[in-house]
Amino acid sequence: METNEVLKKLPQHLMDLIIEQPYKKYTAQDQAIWRYVMRQNSHYLPKVAYGSYLNGLKQTGISIDTIPHMYGMNRILREIGWAAVAVDGFIPPSAFMEFQAYNVLVIAADIRPIDQIGYSPAPDIIHEAAGHAPIIADPEYAKYLKNIGFIGSKAFSSALDHKLFEAIRLLSILKANPYSTQESIADAEKEIEDLERKFDESSEMNRLRNLHWWTVEYGLIGDINKPEIYGAGLLSSIHESVNCLNRNIKKHPYTVKAADFSFDITRQQPQLFVTPDFKTLDNVLDEFSQSLAYKRGGLYGVKQAIRSENVATLVYSSGLQISGVFTEVIAHKNTPAYIKSRGKTNLCVNNKEIDGHSVEMHKDGFGSPCGLLKNQNKSIEDFTPAELKKLGIIEGKSVELEFESGVSVRGVLQKIEKKNGKIILLTFSDCLVAFQNQILFQPDWGIYDMAVGDKIISAYSGAADAKAYGFRFPKFKDKTIPIEHGIKAQKLHQMYALVRKVREQHLNESDLNTVWKEVETNYPSEWLIQIELLEILNPNNDVYASIVKNLTKLKAKKELKKLIDDGLKLLQNNKEFIENKKTVR
């Protein structure tokens, strides 16, 4: 993989998700699919896309004729401060968002099969490279992409979200494989339907994904009555890029309410949202972010962390960050009074692990009070040495702390730890921590580290210091299935390769007569190779007329009519094609 300065900044847990682009696995048919879609895009999108689509392709190193190499894109993308990486299909939404926060474009390495050439329900290299990359060249939009990536990397998913992600990933894998059985696809679709029925509340990530979908993926911009396209899902779909501008597709002004509109990735969208400009995207994102635990903290934030059942970080008002899987919270007057994690937990400040407070030290979890001491209107974090002494909080002495919530801490104070002018930790030996009749920590458990802070000011997904924590995304339950083509398919791909060779090297057309004879006999429905043959053959050739006749028959199939018509129209409008025919004559 060609690296650049952007990629060198990626943390290990994101690097784990990167794969080598399997470029040699792309067949000549795959290359033809890419070329067909990109030629359609380059002809149509300049009329309807925001900004200069063709210039965006050039700025991001994307060719119309050939599937792009990641290393080639990265050499060019570094000029605008971005990078691209290949991944194995769908990756967790939080990972996708975090890549964006690091200015990295995630590209699913697979390419859609020919029966999904107009619209693919799964991410593929056409969607990612031809949809996302060109618009990144716009600095104002790139800023929004980074911002929503950062916010998304902090948003909480629920435990049910993670199960749904795996189910959607499996369905995308099956649909991307032309040899999957209808039974396996139906089973995967049913699994998704069953999971969706269990949802009783949208998670933060679900609502943010809605915003991401209606902007980054399916966004329109400008006048609501005559908008332009900027969303990657629209830019990469040769069907939906046309359909989306029809009047029967409802257009809504883009506001924070878009977060409540869910979407179905397997179908074209019944409504879209129009932003007047890219600045509005940032304004709406800022408004939405105020509702997230990342900004709200408090009891809401702790409950979101617990609901996620995954690694999360709680931030005390003192600046102390606790990262782990949180399981319990004791509440007092609608605020957290005591929080508890299970398993490995570490403590950080400014996203750096504090010496002596690693996951090895807190391998069995962590628990601590939160709030003010009884009869005090000032937090321990801000106590001066004199105030500490007055309350008997002295190193080497037995100390009793009673919190407003009713939580009590009694033990020998071993250490007072400060960072950035704030007290962040009190460490006790022989310590008993209780709430009412419940024992929260007892002396024979060892040393007790008490977090200091009267509030939880932030809560977010993931670890504060991911490297020190050893954070990794769980391994995928289902891997992308390598497509194994049979002998008949391989022979078809060889013919695609021959057609490409004749076109690119300006070889004699005579070999194409043999190709057509084979196609006509064994692959009469393979419409794309027939379009490619017409591009090269002399219109006066009998084979040319025979291909046109066969394509006319194929147009009787509703799903092929537009694809064939668009292919023929492109040939007719292509100046290079016309000039070539003049030379042949």
pLDDT tens readout for residues 218-245: 999 999 999 999 998 898 888 888 899 9
Identify the band that residue 1 occupies on the pLDDT scale cut at 50, 70 and 90: low
Asked whether residue 134 falls in the same domain as residue 268, the answer is yes
Residues 335 and 444 in one domain: yes
Residues 421-431, mean pLDDT to the nearest whole number: 97
Are residue 212 and residue 338 in the same domain, yes or no? no
| Predicted local distance difference test score (pLDDT) of residue 130 | 83
- Residue 324 and residue 461: Cα distance in Å, rounded? 10
> Has residue 479 been placed in a domain?
no
Of residues 232 and 585, more confidently modeled: 232
Q: Provide the pLDDT for residue 480.
A: 73
* 514 within domain boundaries: yes
141 & 238 share domain: yes
Sign of CA dihedral 378, 381, 385, 390: positive
183 falls within a domain: yes
pLDDT at 89 over 90: no
Residue 51 DSSP code: S
- Percent of the chain whose predicted confidence (pLDDT) is above 70: 97
* Own/partner pairs, 573-578, CB within 8 angstroms, 24+ separation: 573/43, 577/535
User: Does residue 351 share a domain with residue 274?
Assistant: no
Region of poorest pLDDT, from 50-64, 211-225, 404-418, 429-443 = 50-64
| Residues contacting residue 127 through CB under 8 Å, at least 6 positions apart | 108, 120, 232, 233, 236, 237
- CB atoms near residue 156 (< 10 Å): 27
Q: What is the mean pLDDT of residues 135-154?
A: 93
Instruction: Quote the pLDDT of residue 57.
Output: 87
Residue-wise pLDDT for 285-328, tens only, equals: 999 999 999 999 999 999 999 999 999 999 999 999 999 999 99
For residue 565, give every residue at least 6 positions away whose Cβ sits within 8 Å of its Cβ, in sequence order, or none.
555
Residues linked to residue 97 through DSSP beta bridges, in sequence order = none
> What is each CA distance from 363 to 60, 344, 442, in whole angstroms?
46, 4, 17
- What confidence tier does 577 reach under pLDDT thresholds 50, 70, 90? very low
Domain presence at residue 395: yes
Last residue of a domain, one of 175, 200, 225: 200
| 118 in any annotated domain | yes
- Note whether residue 509 is domain-resident: yes
CA 473/CA 471 separation, integer angstroms: 7
Residues 134 and 185 in one domain: no
Last residue in a domain, options 231, 250, 284: 284
Whether residue 49 is found in the same domain as residue 192:
no
Could you tell me if 209 and 115 lie in one domain? Answer: yes
Q: Read off the pLDDT band of 583 (50, 70, 90).
A: very low
Contact between 218 and 265 under an 8 Å Cβ cutoff? The reply is: no
Could you tell me if 231 and 241 are in contact, meaning their C-beta atoms sit under 8 angstroms apart?
Answer: no
Mean pLDDT of 428-441: 96
Beta bridge partners of 228: 221
CATH of the domain at 228: 1.10.800.10
| Domain end point (choices 139, 173, 200) | 200
Asked if residue 533 lies in contact with residue 516, where contact means CB atoms within 8 angstroms, the answer is yes
Same domain, 493 and 462: no
Whether 316 and 464 share a structural domain:
yes
User: pLDDT value at position 3?
Assistant: 66
Highest mean pLDDT among 124-133, 240-249, 566-575: 240-249
Mean pLDDT over 162-184 rounds to 87
Range of the structural domain that residue 374 is part of: 293-469
d(CA 3, CA 496): 32
Task: Find the mean pLDDT for residues 365-390.
Answer: 96
* Residue 584 pLDDT: 37
Q: What is the mean pLDDT of residues 51-57?
A: 87
Give residue 72's pLDDT band: very low, low, confident or very high (50, 70, 90): confident
Q: 286, 255 in Cβ contact below 8 A?
A: no
pLDDT at 578 > cutoff 80? no
What is the amino acid identity at position 380? I
- Give the range among 339-343, 535-539, 575-579 with minimum mean pLDDT: 575-579
CA angle at 483 for the pair 25 and 233, rounded to the nearest 5°: 80
pLDDT in tens, 244-285: 999 889 999 999 999 999 887 767 788 999 999 999 999 999
Claim to verify: residue 151 and residue 175 sit in the same structural domain: no
Q: What torsion do the CA atoms of 564, 568, 569, 572 make, to the nearest 10 degrees?
A: 180
For residue 171, the tally of other CB atoms under 10 A from its CB is: 24
User: Taking all residues of the chain, what is their mean pLDDT, rounded to a whole number?
Assistant: 91
Tally of domains in the chain: 4
Q: Are residues 80 and 114 in the same domain?
A: yes
Residue carrying the six token digits 């119309």: 64
pLDDT attached to residue 582: 43
The confidence score (pLDDT) of residue 483 equals: 79
> Picking from 83-92, 146-155, 492-501, which range would have the lowest pLDDT averaged per residue?
83-92
Query: 41-50, 51-60, 397-406: which has the minimum mean pLDDT?
Result: 51-60
Cα separation of 206 and 224, whole Å? 26
With a CB cutoff of 8 Å and minimum separation 6, the contacts of 35 are: 64, 65, 66
350 occurs within a structural domain? yes
Per-residue pLDDT at 392 exceeds 70: yes
Distances (CA, A) of 165 to 89, 478, 551: 12, 11, 40
What pLDDT digit, counting tens, does each position of 438-478 carry? 999 999 999 999 999 999 999 999 999 999 999 999 888 77
**H/E element, 436:** none
Q: Is residue 475 part of a domain?
A: no
What is the predicted pLDDT for the residue at 509? 80
In the predicted model, is pLDDT for residue 120 greater than 60?
yes
Q: For position 450, what pLDDT does the model report? A: 98
Displacement of CA 484 from its chain's centroid (Å): 28
Q: How far apart are CA 495 and CA 493, in angstroms?
A: 5
Q: Could you tell me the pTM of the whole model? A: 0.88
